[in-house]
Structures are given as structure tokens and as C-alpha cells.
Amino acid sequence: MNLIKPPYLNEGDTVAIIAPAGEVIYDEIIRAQAYLERHNLSVKLGKNVFKSCRYMAGTDEERVEDLHETFLDKSVNAIICARGGYGSVRLIKHIDFDIIRRNPKIFCGYSDITALSLMFAKHSDLITFSGPMAQSDFNDVTEFTAKSFFNVLSGGSEEYLSTITYSHGNSEGIIWGGNLSTIVSLCGIDFIPDEDFIFFAEDLNEAPYRIDKMLNQLINMKDFRKHCKGIAFGEFLDCGDEKWLEEIFTETAQILDVPAYGGFKFTHAADKQTIPIGAKGYLQDGILSYKMN
């Protein structure tokens, strides 16, 4: 994989806010728009961003229309997703991945948006970013989160520090991963990289047995076992017995025979770091870093 690095974010650039997944709250999107505009960015809202279809922000066709149109819009420099929830995986069969490949630009989100980021890496050769979203974060963003977001997207360097060691060692490979439950929803689709990667994962409100099951679902995939060379576990919030989680993460590292560290600020919590999916990563003594080529 020789992934495409999108142009960095600069003052005066235009950011589009779209909602590929869950239904949004009008006032919170408007507050996020105002925040970004105060930081010298122009903001465009997807024409369907306030639509509603059950628990999603419009029909599949409406949500993928905004996705395609913002990538095609030459005036847009970056796309920030509104929120997670559910709905991204439903779009995959409708996406024209050539549009994404021919119009590389910043694409940022986490949680359910992981499905799109990993598919863009695999089928559009695009580096994307796991980072804050409009309603979920920029509606009321912390200084920590904003600093990491603007630093990474403007081309600054960033390091990610672990707080716990599950298996010592160093490794390298592209940075790849995101929300664990969303990742396993892609099983059965061609989504795993064809080259070595450092796997990062986080989740929210998942019982330990479900996390165990999801990790083993990935472990049982030949290409995942072959290419996973290191693990960076983020925060698993409200997921039950922490001792059980530590045992599960340690077992996962042992089965894969890779270095693994935890406590990284990849998370659903308010304080989160932005990380490029697809950039060349280096996991050394519990510190994850990257190069954007």
C-alpha cells in the first residue's frame, strides 16, 4: 500500500461537516460550526446533514450523496464527520471509491466512522484521521483535543504515550484501526491491509466477553494474524471489569506474539488525540509515533 497523504489544513481553508452515520442535533452542529469559524476556517454544511431516517442522518442515498459531493467539491479542503452512532457500514455498497481516490482531502472521525476510514485506506488508498467530530467534540471541545487536532492536521508531529505494558517490544508498520466493534462489523468485506500494521483499538460500553469475542474474531482471520505487528490499546470506557480486560489484552498480545501497550488517548472520552490512519507508524518502548512521508 502506498497511501495518499491529503494536503494539510491551513488557516482560511474550508471544512465541510457531513453526517454519514447517526442523526444530529441542529444546535450542536451550529455551535461546532461557530467554533471552527472562530479558528479561521470556513465551514460548509452538507445539504443533507440535518435529515433524519430512523436513528440515522437521512437515508443511505442522502448520506452518501453528501459524502461524494464534499469530496468532489474543489473548494473543500477537509471533511469532519458530525458524529458516530450507526450507519456508516450501510454506505459501503453505495460508495464510489474512485471519487475518494481522485480527490484526496482530510477526512476525520472516529467511532462508527471507523468503517469509512478503513475502507478508504483499502479501496481509495487514502490516509484519513481518527479524531474529533463536530457534534461529538467541537460542540464543546477540550483544549487537549483541539490542540492535537490542529497540530496533526496542520502537519505537526505527535507522539502517543502508553500507560500500561502488556508485552514489551518494538515494531513498525502503517497505523491502522479504530473503534473495535465497528472494525469487526466489516468482517466478510475486503478491508484488512496488504502490508504490516500497528493495530490500535478503543471502545465504549462493551462487556469484557464481547471484547474478547471481537478480538478473537480478528485473530482468527489469516491476514490479520499475518500483518499485525504491534498493538496500541486505547481507552475502553464503561466496559466492565478492568482486570479481565487486562487479561484479555495480554492474551491477545501473546497469541499474536507482538508488542502491546495500553492507555493511549484513543477514546470516546472528551480528551482524545488525533491519529493518521495509514501513516507509517513506529511503536517503541510504549511510545507510538508516525511519519507522513
Task: Tell me the pLDDT of the chain averaged across its residues.
Answer: 97
What is the residue whose three cell numbers read 468482517? 187
Cβ contact 136:267 at 8 Å: no
Instruction: Using the predicted structure, report yes or no on whether residue 195 has a pLDDT greater than 90.
Output: yes
Q: Taking residues 177-183, what's their average pLDDT?
A: 98
Model's pTM, two decimal places? 0.97
Strand 14-18 with 78-81, pairing: parallel
Choices 3.40.50.1000, 3.40.50.300, 3.40.50.10740, 3.60.21.10: CATH for 14-153: 3.40.50.10740
Give pLDDT, residue 2. 77
Give pLDDT, residue 273. 98
**Radius of gyration of the CA atoms of the chain, in A:** 18
**For residue 84, what is its C-alpha cell?**
458516530
The runs of H, that is alpha helices, within 73-230 are 88-91, 97-102, 114-123, 143-153, 180-184, 208-219, 222-227
**For residue 257, what is its C-alpha cell?**
506474539
Kindly state the percentage of the chain with pLDDT values over 90: 99
C-alpha 173/C-alpha 196 separation (Å) is 5
CATH class of residue range 160-291: alpha beta
C-alpha 60/C-alpha 33 separation (Å) is 24
Give pLDDT, residue 100. 98
- pLDDT band for 31, please (50, 70, 90 cuts): very high
What is the residue whose three cell numbers read 488525533? 274
Residues 80-127 have pLDDT tens digits of 999 999 999 999 999 999 999 999 999 999 999 999 999 999 999 999
Residues 218-275 have pLDDT tens digits of 999 999 999 999 999 999 999 999 999 999 999 999 999 999 999 999 999 999 999 9
What residues are labeled active site?
111, 202, 268
Q: Where in the chain is the domain with CATH 3.40.50.10740?
A: 14-153
- pLDDT band for 1, please (50, 70, 90 cuts): low
Phi, psi (5° rounding) for residue 58?
100, 175
Instruction: Using the predicted structure, report yes or no on whether residue 174 has a pLDDT greater than 80.
Output: yes
Q: Where in the chain is the domain with CATH 3.50.30.60?
A: 160-291
Residues 49-72 have pLDDT tens digits of 999 999 999 999 999 999 999 999
